[in-house]
Structure 1
């Protein structure tokens, strides 16, 4: 599980949409809490989130704080640091620095790929750091 999630996060760090999608099961359930279009079912339906993410955030570094494990799943607590260059979660980034906590709950298919990914970004921290106006 560590190997696959680290591969997934590595592709995210390189803004590699195809790489990220390759770590997901074809029928993945992809849910980023607070994402305007809601949960996505299937790899190709998860693509728009990653296209937007990589356009909106830059120079991202993720530091894992803790991982908890169960049978076929893990929970990853992390901190994301980088810059908001686009419109993350609909907020004007203006190239400002940004730091927020992330919680991932990831379930794995029998072949090792990610079957379900639920992500809770700390939207309150994002809103606080990217005031509008």
Structure 2
């Protein structure tokens, strides 16, 4: 059964809301038990729900006061593509770079596929690493 755009929006907005609160259990509650979680370029590669937990623990320690503004969404029968702008502060070592409390802003592209029950069964995230590197020089 295909999800409506409103149902997809509701689930991804719930997911992003938990991310904004640094609520790992909340984020995980939006994922299917057999989720494929893939942050492109992340050292572990695509992973499962426990790998997603580890990713979010690291991410939430490295970035603070984050908020993502959705710029546009494209929809398919069981997926959406969300282009967003993330703004916040790099307090730890985001993506292996010294944050030093500097402000950070970068674009993200999420490709999200949904299970029939509305849970996220695949999350694929692409980050604008070039923008991140420009804002967090390591000199």
TM over 0.5: yes
Q: CA deviation at 1:39?
A: 1.1
Pairing of 1:64-103 with structure 2 (within 5 A): 64-103=70-109
Q: Give the Cα–Cα distance (whole angstroms) in 2 for the partners of residues 59 and 83 of structure 1.
A: 6
Distance (Å, rounded) in 2 between the aligned partners of 1:34 and 1:130: 17
Of 47, 51, 58, the match for 1:52: 58
Kindly provide the CA deviation profile for residues 110-131 of structure 1, in whole angstroms up to 9, marking residues without a partner as x: 1100000000010111011000
Higher strand content, 1 or 2: 1
2 CA distance for matches of 1:88 and 1:71? 34
Q: Give the match for residue 16 of structure 1.
A: 23
Residue 129 of structure 1 corresponds to 135
- Runs of 4+ residues over 3 Å off in structure 1: none
In structure 1, the gaps of 5 or more residues are none
Could you tell me how far 1:61 is from its partner in structure 2? 1.2
**Counterpart residue number, 1:36:** 43
Q: Deviations over 1:82-132 (max 9, x none)?
A: 000000110000000000000000000011000000000101110110000
**How far off its partner does 1:46 sit?**
1.1
How many residues matched?
A: 132
Q: Considering only aligned residues, what root-mean-square deviation do their CA atoms show, in Å? A: 0.6
Once the 2 structures are TM-superposed, how far is the Cα of residue 74 of structure 1 from its aligned partner?
Answer: 0.1
SS at structure 2 position matched to 1:105: strand
